[in-house]
Amino acid sequence: MEIKSLIRPNILKLSPYSSARNEFTGDAAIFLDANESPYETGLNRYPDPLQHDVKKLLAARKEVPENRIFLGNGSDEAIDLVYRVFCVPGRDNVVAPAPTYGMYEVCAEINDVEYRRVPLTADFQLDLSGMKAAVDDRTKVLWLCSPNNPTGNLLSASDIEELLQWFGGIVVIDEAYIDFSMQRSWMARIGEYPRLIVLQTLSKAWGLASVRLGMAFAHETVIRYFNHVKYPYNINLLTQRQALTALAQEEATRARVEEILSERARLVTALPSFDFIRKIYPSDANFLLVKVDDADRTYDYLTRRGIIVRNRNRVQLCSGCLRITVGTPDENRTLLSALESFNKQL
């Protein structure tokens, strides 16, 4: 199916806001076009609405053309745009496995789009026939998160491939945790699958959760409509500068990822020595999903010791589970000694 036939009719015919900085390209000495303050504060000018410098660096690093990159105020902006660009409120639906990242469902509700959840299998893989059965002629989007949050595992590449070939709508693969896994990004497949959208973020491995920068990689037609719908200056100048700095220092990120992976391995080795640990699920991310005897009690104990983990006890297929982010070596030591005390007093 052609991309344009999937786009909401009102978005297809939208004439987007054209900012002063959009219309002028070239060299100028005096800017009297945008009602900005003329006095130099370092921040008195509007930022580049299409973030050309950041995209240029990303394009080189990720080997993808600039016109296949969208930058958002976190990946959360891209998630919301998927609904706003493709899904007619009160009519269309989306299909996603469960459990997965909660924002897909929240954004569906905000946009009045039906959200259809299909439970993952017992080993947290896609139930392909269940997913296919949930799709009908009003299904616009399949949400896939790999490595998945909160389960931590990669989804099977051949299952994803099967859905990409089978489904006629948009397939989103959220790769927020890809930098912690050995899996190659699906980004490389956009030429082959023009209805594929790949999401990545600077919030996790890159250590920049507070700057809010998410990336969507997709066919240039998808990116064009994302740009039509987004707020004109969605990425502020400070964020653009931070992103440029971080992307120029890729080695620092890689070193931190290595340390997190070795700390993750240390936790996987240490945790089973406690009697109350039932299971540690395999992780391709910077967190572990851990099944314990009494999740609420363990969570409360850790909280009283000032250690906050994520209680996933009430999440589908995750009863008894805590999701624990891998911290610094010191933080992990403190966590392990708290768990040891908890174990002793049981």
Ligand X SMILES: *Cc1c(COP(=O)(O)O)cnc(C)c1O
Q: Which spans of this chain sit near ligand X (rule: CB under 6 A)?
A: 74-76, 101, 145, 149, 174, 176, 201, 203-204, 209, 214
Whether the Cβ atoms of residue 163 and residue 131 lie closer than 8 Å to each other = yes
Q: Is 77 or 92 the residue whose CB approaches ligand X more closely?
A: 77
CA angle 43, 45, 49 (to 5 degrees): 110
Beta carbon nearer to ligand X, 93 or 201 = 201
Residue pair 115/96 in contact (Cβ under 8 Å)? The answer is yes
Mark out the alpha helices in the chain (DSSP H runs): 9-12, 20-23, 52-62, 75-86, 103-110, 128-134, 157-166, 220-229, 237-248, 250-270, 295-304, 329-344
In the complex, least distance from residue 149 CB atom to ligand X, rounded to whole angstroms: 4
| Shortest-Cβ-distance residue relative to ligand X | 74
Give the count of beta carbons closer than 10 Å to the beta carbon of residue 214.
Answer: 22
Residue 74 or 168: which CB sits closer to ligand X? 74
CB 108 to ligand X: min, Å: 15
Residue 203 beta carbon to ligand X: minimum distance, rounded to whole angstroms? 3
Task: State in angstroms the smallest separation of the CB of 242 from ligand X.
Answer: 14
Nearer of residues 80 and 263 to ligand X, judged by Cβ: 80
CB of 285 to ligand X, least distance (A): 8
Q: Please, which residue, 65 or 74, has the CB nearer to ligand X?
A: 74
Sheet containing 310-311, strands listed edge to edge, beginning at the edge strand earlier in sequence: 277-280, 287-292, 321-325, 310-311
Cα–Cα dist 44/109, whole Å: 37
